Amino acid sequence: MKQCTHADALPHPEPKPLSDTCPECLAEGQHPVQLRLCLTCGHVGCCDSSPGRHAAEHHKDSGHPIMRTHEPGEHWRWCFVDHVLV
């Protein structure tokens, strides 16, 4: 089973969210479907089901590997590089 090779490098404690919602969606007049939090810098972006896919775009632009859900009651993490749940 494939494992994430980036989780050990995450900052502790994890970064605080830089915003309450996806700032790119706000700027574009879009509504984010679900939010994701970058665990390297705290950027909040929308999921791949949103029109902008801003969490994935943030990963492409920054290289930051792991995000977690920023939805109430959810606790999973995803590594964009290794394509696995962390």
Q: pLDDT, tens digit, for every residue of 29-47?
A: 999 999 999 999 999 999 9
DSSP 54-79: HHHHHHHHH---EEEE-STT---EEE
Q: Provide the 3-class DSSP secondary structure of residue 38.
A: strand
pTM, two decimals, is 0.94
Q: pLDDT, tens digit, for every residue of 50-82?
A: 999 999 999 999 999 999 999 999 999 999 999
Provide the mean pLDDT of the chain: 95
